[in-house]
Amino acid sequence: MFSVIVRRIFSMIPTLLGLSLVVFLIVKAIPGDPAQLLLGDKANAQSLKALRTELGLDSPIFVQYGKFVYRTFIEGDLGRSIASSEPIWDIIKVKFPATVELAIFATFLAILIGIPLGILAADRKGSWLDSLAISTSIFGVSIPVFWLGLILIWIFGLNLGVLPMSGRMDIIFDYEPITGMVLIDSLLQSDLELWWSSFTHIILPGVTLSTIPLAFIARITRASMLEVLKEDYVRTARAKGLSKIKVVMKHALKSALPNIVTIVGLQLGALLAGAMITETVYSWPGIGTWILSSVHARDIPALEAGILLVALTYMIINLFVDIVLMIVDPRVRIT
């Protein structure tokens, strides 16, 4: 298994290099002049030329790409944000944990509801529970995330006033980050008031973000369980007089677990990469809103770093899923 992990890690290098070229070219194709955006419409030609030279924007495009690759992959320097002049690493240390916290919370909700719903639907195929599971999955995939977010804000924030509508915590708290994830840091600091504030703030965006993975997890769990429940060894276990719960949970679920683990890992990666809409609706200060603001500001270094970070995270999650699959099902052979 160790050799497989090493091979997968080395295979990520050319993938990242190829992705870096695609990202670089796409970012360069975005209309607008970063120097003009920074200095304003009234800036003179001399000031614009000086800033372009300082930012390296007047060099040939292949030279700019070479400098970008060397700085990013050799020196490990992501540069500075054009918009804020902050080191991009410092921005990522603040923004990325917020997105990770939201994605993990949403995935937890999706697992907590999706897997039991899929198991019940498979065990009671054709019943109202099965119809509920199918309807839930269709609803989760079909409903626009931004619309659901606005509806939840309108119901629970504006009308009922029981849940916060934006942000990660109340502004009264003086938060000192440790991991960058407030739910964890508040427990480490034994600050239950901060934990409750952060928990109430994450509920609405977490529920909104969990709808699509919940639907996929429920459907895959149901399909996998239906396939396994037809197997001879499951019928044999039932014939031996084992209880339905033991047959379903110990025998059937264990065989269906590889498919469930795969879809959970893929959905977690998708949430980290695609939380932009949810973060925007709830003003969640994560990577998604940062990348979106970087697009508006044509902040080239921030855009390049943000997109590469999301891609690298997705690849790492896929590697982790493969490792878990090898542990859960030793028959799996990954080449």
Is the same domain home to 140 and 233? yes
What is the spatial distance between Cα 286 and Cα 303, in angstroms, rounded to a whole number?
14
Is the same domain home to 45 and 140? no
Is the same domain home to 61 and 139? no
CB 286 within 8 A of CB 98: yes
Is the same domain home to 207 and 246? yes
Q: What is the pLDDT of residues 218-257, one digit of tens each?
A: 888 888 888 887 777 777 777 777 777 777 777 777 778 8
Inside any domain, residue 305: yes
Query: Where in the sequence is the domain holding 32, given as residue range(s)?
Result: 2-74
Chosen domain end from 46, 74, 102: 74
**What CATH number is associated with residue 306?**
1.10.3720.10
Per DSSP, the chain holds a count of helices (H) and strands (E) of: 15, 0
Is the same domain home to 121 and 9? no
Domain count, the chain: 2
CB 260 within 8 A of CB 220: yes
Smallest CA-to-CA distance from 294 within 283, 282, 304 is with 304
Q: What is the pLDDT of residues 22-55, one digit of tens each?
A: 888 877 777 766 666 666 667 777 777 777 777 6
3-class secondary structure, 80 = strand
Is the same domain home to 242 and 304? yes
Q: Is the pLDDT of residue 101 over 90?
A: yes
CB 102 within 8 A of CB 279: yes
Q: What is the pLDDT of residues 109-131, one digit of tens each?
A: 999 998 888 888 888 887 887 88
Residue with tokens 């932009």: 276
| Angle made by CA atoms 122, 127, 133, in degrees to the nearest 5 | 55
Is the same domain home to 121 and 51? no
Which one has a higher pLDDT value, 82 or 313?
A: 313
Is the same domain home to 67 and 103? no
Is the same domain home to 43 and 136? no
Is the same domain home to 267 and 144? yes
Is the same domain home to 248 and 310? yes
- Residues of the chain above pLDDT 70, percent: 92
CB 35 within 8 A of CB 51: yes
Is the same domain home to 177 and 254? yes
Task: Give 276: exposed, middle or buried? Use CB within 10 Å, 0-12, 13-18, 19+.
Answer: buried
Band of pLDDT at residue 331, cut at 50, 70 and 90: low
